Amino acid sequence: MIPKVFKEVIDLGDGREISIETGKLAKQAHGSVVVQSGKCMLLCTVVSNYKQSDVDFLPLTVDYREKFAAAGRYPGGFFKREARPSDGEVLTMRLVDRVLRPLFPKDYHSETQVMIQLMSHDEDVMPDAMAGLAASAAIQLSDFPFECAISEARVGRVNGEFIINPTRAQLLESDIDMMIGASADSVMMVEGEMDEISEEEMTEAIKFAHEAIKVQCAAQVKLAEAFGKKEVREYEPEREDADLAKKIHDMAYDKVYAVAQAGSAKHERSAAFGEIKEEIIASFSEEEQADYGGLISKYYSKAEKAAVRDLTLNEGLRLDGRKTDEIRPIWCEVDYLPSTHGSSIFTRGETQALATVTLGTSREANQIDMPSFEGEERFYLHYNFPPFSTGEARPIRGTSRREVGHGNLAQRALKGMVPEDCPYTVRVVSEILESNGSSSMATVCAGTMAMMDAGVQLKKPVSGIAMGLITDTESGKYAVLSDILGDEDHLGDMDFKVTGTADGITACQMDIKVKGLSYEILVNALKQAREGRLHILGKITETISTPNTDVKDHAPTMVTRRIPNEFIGALIGPGGKVIQELQKETETTIVINEDPVTEEGIVEVLGVGSKGIDAVMAKIDSLLFKPEVGSVYEVKVIKMLDFGAVVEYMDAPGNEVLLHVSELAWERTENVSDVVNMGDVFDVKYFGIDKRTRKEKVSRKALLPKPEGFVERPPRDDKRRDDRRGNDRNRDRKPRRD
């Protein structure tokens, strides 16, 4: 029996559609949908346990995977099955998680899984743009306590025109690549990269995407109604005690306000807040503490948050004593590490990043092998966040999703400033040594300086800043915070990171926690971020204003050379013998790629110092050497023969030609050694291909004056000689016997 299928179609307005279908697949999940656009199909399933977990947070897992079969491909590597998620998949998981998580009730603690799978791929559809839509649509079909439908959309701009969910080809021409997550009423998440656009242009892009998202949210609601909207499940809510909350608020508020008002450092402030909390807990008897459980800590945190927010809104002061638009003290240094190709330290307040740069050939490019995209990155950035950076000791279990996301944001901020003709593969690594607010933005600043220190010719330096927002809906007051602290990150209504040059924004990441944030406030916040960004940029350029003109003495120099396709084999040699020996002799790295358009060979030579590189270039010149008819060349005798001498062009070592005994001198030469010897250097004239011998002809005697009275022997009559030889052959031939 074929199950009943329910379907809604979303018109993207340019002939493309997105369909949401349910009822056919994965019916035991609490909600499942298939989202399709073109040939691209995503299956999303959601399940949430009915029993609350014994934790004080939502154990939500968002998992996005791309199946290689979806693109008709096999997984790479030895084991032919999908294993750990790629960085691209992790980034999509983060995008979806950031929008979904705030819409679950704060006291909902059931284990919840959202699984999104790419089941069929279409080259003209980027599946990550539909992952948020698929997740929300599946949740709408479930009985989860979830606030409202949301969706995500990518927005690009080509020739001044905004596009929803552009193709990868369109993105290559676009100056904007932003992903926006929103409900029908409010924008909740923004992340993307831009080509130095203004704050107003960024806001217009967000508005454009939000209008499309409203249509997608309406389609989800309509599908849920047609399918049969389920009753929201009942779950055991967290215990609340209004009297206790008020009591703790009254006990803590003024004391917290006073500590916050004092403007102290992180550890001093944390210790003071800890003492207030311990004092409040101690005021309750052991029986009361056991009875209230975690309510005392919970209500203290609420009181602390309220006091800090009020301090900022009422007095314009912050936890460390700064004003709302004030940036913490900054100091920078470059060329700190003596052995790296480039290095820098960027310290802002209690946040510090140490960045290193390594230069390499195309062989070191970061290979991306996903079902939805195959390619390589010649510039990439890795971000490491060790536990000691926050004064903690915790298990280290590989690269976290947070590290992948922060590194990707910094990479997107910087990559547009790496020139297209940069010959190197550039790897930047950011080591976070201290953290108290926006280590990802410190990474952008440190990465900029490290690349300029390494001699990478950045178009413009880039800086980044993390911002916060505190609003009071009742009074209409709001405060935009520049360069937020770690403690300010969670107490605000919006935290956003903006990077850019002096001329515009290159990347951003926003998480908006307040409903219905006005675009006026958003623009004002972005403009304040620009002022902070320019201030930080000034500190960077005080340390290093322009890229170093050359790489460091111990860093490799890269020289690129194009050669005709027919010479690639000669340079590589049989079994790679020539190129391997050349690399060993010159202590260089040689990489040969083929231009897919011109089919020329692109030779990359990487080496420290010029001696080895010059030797490789000489070898290439030798391979490409083509003597011109009538030209004179200096040669060296490298082999003696009875009928001449083998000579090598001095300008092209390895290129040899026979100098026949008859071309040594005008006089008759009985022995070659009477005229030349091994190692002799002299000039010869090149005559091209000899018609008689069909070999290259060079002459020494052509450059010498004829001896006085010299009579040149007349040329042979080749026709008579051939006829004579033919007649002799006929005469010698005997009659054939039958």
As annotated, the binding site for Mg(2+) includes 489, 495
CA dihedral 98, 102, 108, 114 (to 10 degrees): -30
Q: What are phi and psi of 16, to 5 degrees?
A: -95, 150
CB atoms within 10 A of CB 326: 15
d(CA 238, CA 426): 51
What contacts 353, CB < 8 A, 6 or more positions away?
345, 346, 347, 430, 431, 432, 433, 439, 442, 443, 445, 446
Distances (CA, A) of 625 to 149, 332, 600, 621, 622: 69, 50, 17, 6, 5
CA 417, 423, 424, 425 torsion: positive or negative? positive
Q: What is the SS3 assignment for 115?
A: strand
Taking the C-alpha atoms of residue 255 and residue 273, their distance in angstroms, rounded to an integer, is 9
Return d(Cα 668, Cα 712) in angstroms, integer: 11
The two three-digit tokens of residue 506, written as one number: 């290159």
Site of tokens 């009591």: 247
Q: Could you tell me which residues are annotated as the binding site? A: 489, 495
Q: Rounded CA gap, 269 and 222, in Å?
A: 51
Name the residue type at position 391: G
Query: How is residue 588 written in tokens?
Result: 């260089």
Both tokens assigned to 504: 């515009």
Mapping DSSP to helix (H, G, I), strand (E, B) and coil, where does residue 168 land?
A: helix
Q: CA torsion, points 460, 504, 173, 511, in degrees to nearest 10? A: 120
Q: What is the CA radius of gyration of the chain?
A: 37
Q: Which residue has the tokens 């919970």?
A: 298
